[in-house]
Amino acid sequence: MADLLSSPILYLKGVGPQRAELLKKELGIFTFRGLLEHYPYRHIDRTEVSLIRDINPQTEYIQIIGRIISMHNLGEKNAKRLAATIQDSTGTLELIWFQGLNWVSKMLQPGKTYFVFGRIGFYQGKPQITHPEIEAIVDDSTQRRSFLEPVYPSTEKLSLKGMGGRQLGKLSLSLLNMLSEKDIAEILPPYLINEQKLMNRFQAFKSIHFPASLIEYSHALERLKFDELFIAQIRMGLIKSRRHRSSTGVVFGRVGELFNLFYSSHLPFELTGAQKRVLKELRKDMGSGSQMNRLLQGDVGSGKTIVALLSMLLAVDNGFQACLMAPTEILARQHFEAINQLLKEMPVRMDILTGSTKAKLKRSIEERAAEGNLDILIGTHSLIEDSVQFRNLGLAVIDEQHRFGVAQRAKLWGKSKIPPHVLVMTATPIPRTLAMTAYGDLDTSIMDELPPGRQPIITVHRYENKRAQVMGFLRSEIEKGRQVYIIFPLIEESETLDYENLMKGYENLKAWFPEPKFWISMVHGRQPNETKKTNMERFVKQDTQIMVSTTVIEVGVNIPNATVMVIESAEKFGLSQLHQLRGRVGRGTEKSYCILLTGSQLNKEARERLNIMCQTNDGFRIAEKDLEIRGPGDIAGTRQSGLLDFKLADIVKDKQLLDLSGQMAWKLLQEDPDLDSPSHSNLKSLLDQLSGKTVWSRIS
């Protein structure tokens, strides 16, 4: 099938080489399809013309019809501008240009009548429009058309070449006139269109550019949003199911001695229902013969470590090695010590490899890993260095996934002939909506249950002027034998101001707790690793009662005796970071507290963040809220995937449509996993056309 929409934009009537270059550079439009999908951001109702008299300080945009009565060049050399006065039957208005003066003064002719559209501004109390959209009225009667005229995103440079926001409509119109139903084939099966009462796809493209009414526009918009979301989810579904069917993975066919021995004799507690369920899911995956790619989402404190450990034992039982990769040295060490403790009476050979491992030891670890004399290797990024090779790596667990890039994860695949199973664990719950799109190709397990006996953490927000009370409260908790964290913002470890605040905070704290019985540790990113480690250890051993720290403490650290967390300048933290930090307390059976300290000046967003923190401990709710407040663009790790670049749809605002299209996509793939049915052939060929652009098919 000749694909008209893939034609270079150069060949569209009215474009030509010069304009084609500009369209590419300024708007990234290379083909007919690019122009077709360059959607108008609004429509002007050309029947609605205001009078100059009606302009008031509340007026934002306005469309008037009037005659140019005078034009002046003003200003000097670098500050030149052009002013024109336009008049209608009720008054006059100034129009101002700072750019394109030559072109504008050639185009405008005093005495002639124009349509003028633009944003009203006030200069010295008088209304004016800077850089209005302006168009001569050729014949008054024909131009008062009753349709809505599209206005497109455009740029200064394009405007100067006659391709401004309104003028681009001429190109769209000539493109749409060339296209027929066979160029924009219907991709949805008829039953779905009927069921959902969707506009036909070809019609939708016409109507989104040139609707006959606002209602028609909204139907077109809904249809095309549906398609964007539907197509994205079909693509994800296909990647996932193809991988399930075609990727070979090592088979962990049996539950062996180590697993059983540990489970029956060394497990320090009864697993929660969620832990058991997830383990079952993992075992099924790892026994299936395909490579596992699973995302385990478990809120902070839900007990992911033990799940990772049991899965690693399963690997060892089946004659394979396993590794566990953590984002920081502190965390890797903590995992190592916790797991070492749990396995102390078991015949498992394990070790730890981090950036600070001495060269000689490192060589020996690498040798043992390569020869298969090491069962479990725990570490940091060091694990993915090329010098680290395994004899037969069967499982790679990655903790706290948001710190690792996609590419780093993919490197793990190369460590074994058959790619190891990959278990990614994240404590930053990903909102369901986002997970469906951004991580839709990973299988997901969710641990939505905390171990029994945990009391919900009590979170409060206190202003700076209540510091004395807060310190008094810390004192009383410490006197009960508890430990406390005090966290300072240090967003970038190199920010000097934050660093000074941290030091000042530390000095102040010493003043609040002057007696010799109080001991304070401090950990921050500028310390050498050795210092960090000793300071951390002193706190772990309860030699110190107060830990002053930056967010290096954010992930993973597990000290059940710590019951209070104070977060200084809490307004500077994002929601997921606050939630992570708070997760450091409430790990034992004692009642725990999180105190968010702020100054008195808070903006609306910060206030909202603090409120939600005080209202709930539920990471999933917090993640949804975070998405709502910030939008999808900022959520860690999703931007690079390029998946959320929908042109029309917004996964937050269009959540209903996202859910609906997701269900439809799922249903369709259930019935026809390879899209072989004739009623899906158009969909299939559209996907084939798009597939060259896929950058995310290798997300592990």
Residues forming contacts to ligand ADP in the complex (CB under 6 A) are 269-272, 275, 298, 300-306, 427, 451, 558, 560, 587
CB of 681 to Mg ion, least distance (A): 47
**Which residue sits closest to ligand ADP, CB atoms considered?**
303
Given the complex with ligand ADP, which of 426 and 535 has the nearer CB atom? 426
| Selected range binding Mg ion among 146-154, 218-226, 288-296, 551-559, rule: CB under 5 A | 551-559
Q: Which of Mg ion, ligand ADP, none does residue 333 bind (CB under 5 to 8 Å by kind)?
A: none
Q: Which of Mg ion, ligand ADP, none does residue 420 bind to, with CB < 5 to 8 Å depending on kind?
A: none
CB-based contacts of 14, cutoff 8 Å, min separation 6? 170, 171, 174
Q: Which residues in 316-335 contact Mg ion (CB under 5 A)?
A: none
Show Cβ contacts of residue 107 under 8 Å, excluding neighbours closer than 6 positions.
Answer: none
Here the tokens at position 652 are 């937050």
- Binding partner of residue 164 among ligand ADP, Mg ion, none, CB under 5 to 8 Å per kind? none
Distance, CA of 38 to CA of 27 (rounded, Å)? 9
Pick between residue 203 and residue 558 the one whose CB is nearest to ligand ADP: 558
d(CA 381, CA 401): 12
Question: Which CB sits closer to ligand ADP, 26 or 449?
Answer: 449
Which is nearer to ligand ADP, 128 or 549 (by Cβ)? 549
Structure tokens at 315: 């690997």
Q: Which is nearer to ligand ADP, 23 or 559 (CB)?
A: 559
CA distance 47 to 212: 13
Q: How far apart are CA 150 and CA 45, in angstroms?
A: 9
> How far is it, in rounded angstroms, from Cα 424 to Cα 447?
13
Coil/strand/helix, residue 360: helix
Nearest distance from C-beta of residue 539 to ligand ADP, angstroms: 16
Nearer to Mg ion, 578 or 668 (CB): 578
**Selected range binding Mg ion among 409-417, 556-564, 597-605, 670-678, rule: CB under 5 A:** 556-564
399 residue type, one letter: D
Q: Of Mg ion, ligand ADP, none, which one does residue 489 interact with (CB within 5 to 8 Å by kind)?
A: none
Rank residues 116 and 322 by Cβ distance to ligand ADP and give the closer one.
Answer: 322
Q: Least distance from C-beta 305 to Mg ion, angstroms?
A: 5
Between 489 and 556, name the residue whose CB sits nearer to Mg ion. Answer: 556
For 191, 341, 682, 686, the CA distances from 665, given in Å and listed in that order, are 13, 47, 15, 15
Of 321-329, 428-436, 549-557, 690-698: span binding Mg ion (CB under 5 A): 549-557
For the purposes of burial, counting CB atoms within 10 Å of the CB of 443, is it exposed (0-12), middle (13-18) or buried (19 or more)?
middle
Beta carbon of residue 336, minimum distance to ligand ADP (angstroms, whole number)? 13
Q: Is 556 in the site for Mg ion (CB under 5 A)?
A: yes
Residue 483 CB, nearest approach to Mg ion (Å):
19
Listed in sequence order, the residues at least 6 apart from 682 whose beta carbon sits closer than 8 Å to its beta carbon are: 185, 186, 187
Nearest approach in angstroms of CB 445 to ligand ADP is: 12
- What's the CA gap between 89 and 64, in Å, rounded? 11
Rounded to the nearest whole angstrom, what is the least distance from the CB of residue 370 to ligand ADP in the complex?
Answer: 30
Phi-psi region of 556 (alpha: psi -120 to 50; beta: other; left: phi over 0): left
Alpha helices (runs of H) in 5-114, residue ranges in sequence order: 16-27, 32-36, 101-107
User: Could you give phi then psi for residue 497, rounded to 5 degrees?
Assistant: -60, -45
Q: How far is the CB of 555 from Mg ion (least distance, A)?
A: 7
CB nearer to ligand ADP: pick between 201 and 402: 402
Q: How many residues bind Mg ion (CB under 5 A)?
A: 1
Nearer to ligand ADP, 279 or 306 (CB): 306
Nearer to Mg ion, 31 or 426 (CB): 426
Q: Count Cα neighbours of 77 within 13 Å in the Cβ-side half-sphere.
A: 0
Quote the CA–CA distance of 486 and 470 in Å, as a whole number. Answer: 11
- Please state the closest distance from residue 491 (CB atom) to Mg ion, in A: 22
Rounded Cα distance between 28 and 35, Å, is 9
On the CB side of 409, CA atoms within 13 Å amount to 23
What type of residue is 263? Answer: Y
Of 211 and 303, nearer to ligand ADP (C-beta) is 303
| Residue 558 Cβ vs Mg ion, minimum distance, rounded to whole Å | 7
Residue 66 contacts which entry, ligand ADP, Mg ion, none (Cβ below 5-8 A, type-dependent): none
Q: Which does 367 bind (CB under 5 to 8 A by kind): ligand ADP, Mg ion, none?
A: none
Q: How far is the CB of 303 from ligand ADP (least distance, A)?
A: 3
Q: Find the shortest distance in angstroms from Cβ 485 to ligand ADP.
A: 15
User: Is 287 a residue that touches Mg ion (CB under 5 A)?
Assistant: no
Alpha carbons 96 and 85: distance in angstroms, whole number: 9
Answer with the entry of Mg ion, ligand ADP, none that 160 interacts with (C-beta below 5 to 8 A by kind). Answer: none
Residue with the CB atom nearest Mg ion in the bound state? 556
Which of Mg ion, ligand ADP, none does 306 bind, CB closer than 5 to 8 A by kind? ligand ADP
Is 317 within 8 Å of 258 (Cβ atoms)?
yes
Contacts 24+ apart (CB under 8 A), 495-499: 498/550, 499/524, 499/526
Q: How far apart are CA 98 and CA 297, in angstroms?
A: 54
* Least CB distance to ligand ADP at residue 534 (A): 22
Please give the Cα distance from 438 to 639 (Å, whole number): 9
Which one of Mg ion, ligand ADP, none interacts with residue 20, CB within 5 to 8 A by kind? none
Distances, alpha carbon 600 to alpha carbons 136, 466, 565, in Å: 55, 11, 20
Task: Report the alpha-carbon distance of residue 19 to residue 202 in Å, rounded.
Answer: 27
**Which partner in Mg ion, ligand ADP, none is near 43 (CB below 5 to 8 A by kind)?**
none
295 interacts with, out of ligand ADP, Mg ion, none, CB within 5 to 8 A per kind? none
Nearest residue (CB) to ligand ADP, 232 versus 307? 307
Cα 299 to Cα 444: distance, rounded to the nearest angstrom:
14
631 contacts 434 by C-beta, under 8 angstroms: no
List interacting residues with Mg ion (CB under 5 A).
556
